[in-house]
Amino acid sequence: MGTRRPRRWHDRGAARVAGASTTPAGHRPDEHEVTMSEAYGFADDALERYARMVRRSLGVPTALVTLVEDDRQVFPGAIGLPSPYQQSRQTPLSHSFCQYVVKDEQPLVVTDARLDDRLADNLAIPDLGVVAYAGWPIVDHTGRTVGSLCAIDSQPHEWRADELDALADIAAACSTELSERGQREAAQNALRVSEELGERSRVLLAIGDRLAASHTLAEIAAGIDEVTRLELGCSHTGLWLRTAELEGRSSRTDAGETIRAVSYSGQDRAGMDDHQTVETAGRSPLGDCLAEARARYLVDRGDLRRRYPDLADDGTPAGSARAYLPLEHTGDAYGALALSWPVPRRFTLAERRTLAALASATAQAVKTALLLQDRVHVAETLQRAMLTDLPSVPGLELDARYRPAAERDQVGGDWYDAVHLPTGETSLVIGDVGGHDIGAAASMGQLRSTLRTLDWAEARTPAETIRRLDYATADLGTRSVASVLFVRAAPSGDGWSLTWTSAGHPPAVLVSPEGCATLLGGTDGNDLLVGIAPETRRRDHRLDVEPGSTLVLYTDGLVERRGEPLTTGFDRLCGAARRHHGRELSSFLDALIGELVSDEHEDDVAVLAVRFAG
């Protein structure tokens, strides 16, 4: 390969883009492009694994990962083909059902190919023994359908819905394998080519760095705006998603479908109105990009007017060039990236491929952010559903707060509870199940419900109740470890009497009416955590409190800080309680949270406070 002069984005000559691709009919690869079969060989261990997964999951004799080229199909993953095809790993298209999956860009499912008008004369039936066929599209890193992941039976086969669902899932994983491999190989090849690809490499590196550190749609949009301005010279950027995606709806219809601007810079909305939500019906470059899942490139504003004469003038400079890039997932465009430049430009092949790679990386990041958003929403909904409303108790004022960790993809097992018992006593509970996932939240719900039931049904002391909880969780197979502070408050003369037990939990803080803040029982009143040894001895502690006092129960996220002793956190909490003790209870809690919980706190925080009436 000869050395070429370096090119920049303002050059107009076509620059090579390295990477593997298929060569569909009529396509002439450039001098650096290779076919999928050349890239992967005729047998590939990783793709063979997907064929094995299909055969095991669907119970079929033959499974293939097929890549379709303009005059043949190759099988880098193949299990169960007859000789000599298992060895040669290829056939002409006269033996191909998979070519129709690629051509139609959709699954092909046939119970008996001998009865199908399009397939009955296909030589795959007599030569390969193909009677029943289920093929799912697999796509490369550009989003183009390059082949099929298929299951084959030598006899008629009524494909069940669960079999097709499994095939679709494995095909999606196979597509991810191809996509990731294509992206890796493109990056590796870019390092070996001449300086003409330096610009593209830098763009991909920059966007990759930004997207790797981005977890929300706003962060992704800000990263794209910065990178495209610095590396590509864009004047405006916009990230648009279908409203159905943003609202978490699994299905959509084209009729009345809208697309919403997650973020855009400047005023370049390509003829759209001044709203952030627009309908996709009617011709526009953005709507066409979504409807056809195909990029749209406009040389300047005059080009926009020629192609879309009904669009209103958006007031951008006459020289503005634009690119509208679909954001795709499994072949469906769920959003678009809109870019514009201040001067006219004719997009070269290399530039278009750079933009396609940018869109592919953005699409993956956006889809991950949407999935994370859904996951966080489900987890937080689960956890908050388990945090019950506080009861109304004569003589007691109750309030609580819950703050999730700054890392929004985590959800913890922190909880609080308060139960007003028929005896007139009130149980106050704060607890923390180990772990930061939905499993921890589920275990928290089990412990909380079990403890509530035991507390209501049995007239036992807090220590006896926690000991019963420990045995119950062991007998029921709840494999979780938790810290629990259980306080029972009972009217006593003119004041209140507290009885409590602690299973490895931070001590509550008692604030007197004068503002003296102390740790309830000090730091030596702890027994063993719940979930370790049910037979362990547990102790009750008792204390009378005067009217006007405030008791604060909390989880460790309120006091723990990386690299400092826990006693420092206790002192900080007591100091804050002294400073804010004169406030109303709700304001008191807000002040504690505001002072002690930073925007970057690493753990969930639950706080339950009770003020004893005077």
SS (H, E, C) 496-530: EEEEEEEECCCCCEEECCCCCEEECCCCCCEECCE
Distance CA 8, CA 195 (A): 10
Q: Each residue of 560-599: pLDDT tens digit?
A: 988 899 999 999 999 999 999 999 999 999 999 999 988 7
Q: What is the mean pLDDT of residues 485-514?
A: 94
Q: 240 near 259, Cβ under 8 Å?
A: yes
pLDDT given for residue 583 in this prediction: 95
pLDDT given for residue 435 in this prediction: 67
* CATH superfamily, domain at 36-183: GAF domain (3.30.450.40)
User: Is the previous residue joined to 84 through a cis bond, with omega within 30 degrees of 0?
Assistant: yes
In sequence order, the β-bridge partners of residue 74 are 67, 90
pLDDT given for residue 232 in this prediction: 86
Q: Each residue of 392-435: pLDDT tens digit?
A: 999 999 999 988 775 555 556 788 999 999 999 999 999 988 76
Distance CA 54, CA 47 (A): 11
Spell out a b/e string for 588-607, using b for 16 or more CB atoms within 10 Å of the CB, else e.
bbebbbeebbeeebebbbbb
pLDDT of residue 306 exceeding 80? yes
Q: 158 near 131, Cβ under 8 Å?
A: no
Residue 73 pLDDT grade (very low, low, confident, very high; cuts 50, 70, 90): very high
- 194-377 has which fold? Beta-Lactamase (3.30.450)
pLDDT given for residue 36 in this prediction: 52
Measured CA distances, 554 to 14, 30, 523, 596 (Å) = 64, 65, 14, 12
Average pLDDT, the chain: 82
3-state secondary structure at position 495: strand
Cβ neighbours around 277 below 10 Å, total: 13
253-267, 400-414, 503-517 — most confident range: 503-517
Distance CA 594, CA 588 (A): 10
Identify the H or E element spanning 566. Answer: helix 566-580
Q: Each residue of 75-97: pLDDT tens digit?
A: 999 999 999 999 999 999 999 99
In sequence order, the β-bridge partners of residue 501 are 486
Alpha helices of 157-263 — where are they, by DSSP H?
A: 161-192, 198-212, 217-232, 243-246
Distance CA 86, CA 138 (A): 21
pLDDT given for residue 489 in this prediction: 95
pLDDT of residue 315 exceeding 60? no
In sequence order, the β-bridge partners of residue 321 are 341
Q: What is the mean pLDDT of residues 361-380?
A: 77
pLDDT given for residue 16 in this prediction: 29
Q: 430 near 608, Cβ under 8 Å?
A: yes
Distance CA 195, CA 3 (A): 8
Lowest mean pLDDT among 122-136, 296-310, 313-327: 313-327
- 386-612 has which fold? Phosphatase 2c; domain 1 (3.60.40)
Question: In which residue ranges of the chain is CATH 3.30.450.40 found?
Answer: 36-183, 194-377
From 15, 30, 112, 124, select the one nearest 68 (Cα to Cα): 124
Residue 317 pLDDT grade (very low, low, confident, very high; cuts 50, 70, 90): low
Distance CA 45, CA 28 (A): 29
Residue type, 535: E
pLDDT given for residue 121 in this prediction: 95
Distance CA 419, CA 486 (A): 11
Q: What is the DSSP letter of 26?
A: T
pLDDT given for residue 20 in this prediction: 38
Residue 19 pLDDT grade (very low, low, confident, very high; cuts 50, 70, 90): very low
- Any residues with CB less than 8 A from the CB of 2 and at least 6 apart, and which? none
Distance CA 142, CA 182 (A): 9
Residue 49 pLDDT grade (very low, low, confident, very high; cuts 50, 70, 90): very high
From 448, 435, 560, select the one nearest 506 (Cα to Cα): 560
Identify the H or E element spanning 286. Answer: helix 285-292
Q: What is the DSSP letter of 34?
A: B
Q: 404 near 279, Cβ under 8 Å?
A: no
Q: What is the largest CA-CA distance in the chain?
A: 96
pLDDT given for residue 514 in this prediction: 95
pLDDT given for residue 378 in this prediction: 65
Lowest mean pLDDT among 6-10, 132-136, 212-216, 385-389: 6-10
Question: In which residue ranges of the chain is CATH 3.60.40.10 found?
Answer: 386-612
Structural tokens at position 193: 């080519």
Q: Each residue of 98-120: pLDDT tens digit?
A: 999 999 999 999 999 999 999 99
Distance CA 614, CA 560 (A): 33
Lowest mean pLDDT among 268-277, 365-374, 391-400: 268-277
DSSP β-ladder status, 72-79 and 62-68: antiparallel
Comparing 153 with 258, the larger pLDDT belongs to 153
Report how far apart the first and last C-alpha atoms of the chain are (Å, whole number).
89
pLDDT of residue 25 exceeding 60? no
pLDDT of residue 273 exceeding 90? no
Comparing 335 with 381, the larger pLDDT belongs to 335
